[in-house]
Amino acid sequence: MKIAVYPGSFDPITNGHLDIIERGSRLFDQIIITIAKNSSKKPLFTPAERKKIIERALEDIKLHSPVTVEMFDGLIVDFLKERNARAIIRGLRAVSDFEYEFQMALVNRRLNGDVSTVFLMPHEKYTYLNSSIVKEVASFGGDISYFVPKTVQDEIRKKFDSM
Question: Domain residues of the chain, as ranges?
Answer: 3-161
Catalytic site includes residue 41: yes
Catalytic site includes residue 17: yes
E strand map for 73-123: 87-91, 116-120
Catalytic site includes residue 131: yes
Q: Give me the catalytic one of 25, 50, 131, 135.
A: 131
Question: What pLDDT digit, counting tens, does each position of 54-97 carry?
Answer: 999 999 899 999 999 999 989 999 999 999 999 999 999 887 78
Catalytic site includes residue 2: no
Q: For residues 92 and 121, is the Cβ–Cβ distance under 8 A?
A: yes
Q: Give me the catalytic one of 41, 125, 150, 157.
A: 41
Residue 143's pLDDT is: 96
Task: Report the run of H or E that residue 34 belongs to, with start and end.
Answer: strand 30-36
CATH number for the region 3-161 comes to 3.40.50.620
For residue 37, pLDDT beyond 80: no
For residue 102, pLDDT beyond 70: yes
- The mean pLDDT value for 15-23 works out to 96
Query: Within a 10 A sphere around the Cβ of 123, how many other Cβ atoms?
Result: 13
Reported confidence tier of residue 39, pLDDT bands at 50, 70, 90: low
